[in-house]
């Protein structure tokens, strides 16, 4: 995701935070706290499920600085969701301005996301 920095109503031009190629499909996203919470919790449950019999031992979380109290009503939302979904494991991380994470097996730079690695206790 990239931000829209501005636009011109008369010409229909948008100023994006990324170069767009001619013919490239562009999707618009609305920042929505409820959907962001649901997506994060689903990803955390999926990560937990992929561990099988192993237990989560700790995690690193990298959240966009556009999350936190800019998106959610309470501070530490993402860390709290991780604690609830992963049994209050040790967690460290930081706020970022761009998070690196996979899409279909390739790494990409993301925005307005929470990227996380969960370590299993074998």
Averaged pLDDT, 37-55:
93
pLDDT of residue 20: 87
Residue entry with tokens 């929470």: 114
Averaged pLDDT, 23-48:
91
- Whole-angstrom distance, CA of residue 32 vs CA of residue 29: 9
- Using one digit for the tens of pLDDT, what is the confidence trace for 6-28? 999 999 998 988 888 899 988 88
pLDDT of residue 1: 66
- Using one digit for the tens of pLDDT, what is the confidence trace for 59-69? 999 998 888 88
Length of the chain: 122
- Using one digit for the tens of pLDDT, what is the confidence trace for 88-117? 899 999 999 888 888 888 998 888 888 899
């Amino acid at each position: 995701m990239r931000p829209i920095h501005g636009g011109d109503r008369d010409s229909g031009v948008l100023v994006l935070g990324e170069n767009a190629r001619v013919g490239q499909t562009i999707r618009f996203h609305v920042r929505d706290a409820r959907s962001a919470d649901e997506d994060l919790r689903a990803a955390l449950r999926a990560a937990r499920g992929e561990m099988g019999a192993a237990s989560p031992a700790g995690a690193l979380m990298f959240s966009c600085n556009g999350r936190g109290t800019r998106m959610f009503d309470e501070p530490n939302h993402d860390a709290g969701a991780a604690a609830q979904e992963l049994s209050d494991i040790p967690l460290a991380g930081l706020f970022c301005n761009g998070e690196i994470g996979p899409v279909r097996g390739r790494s990409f730079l993301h925005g307005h996301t929470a990227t996380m690695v969960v370590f299993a206790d074998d």
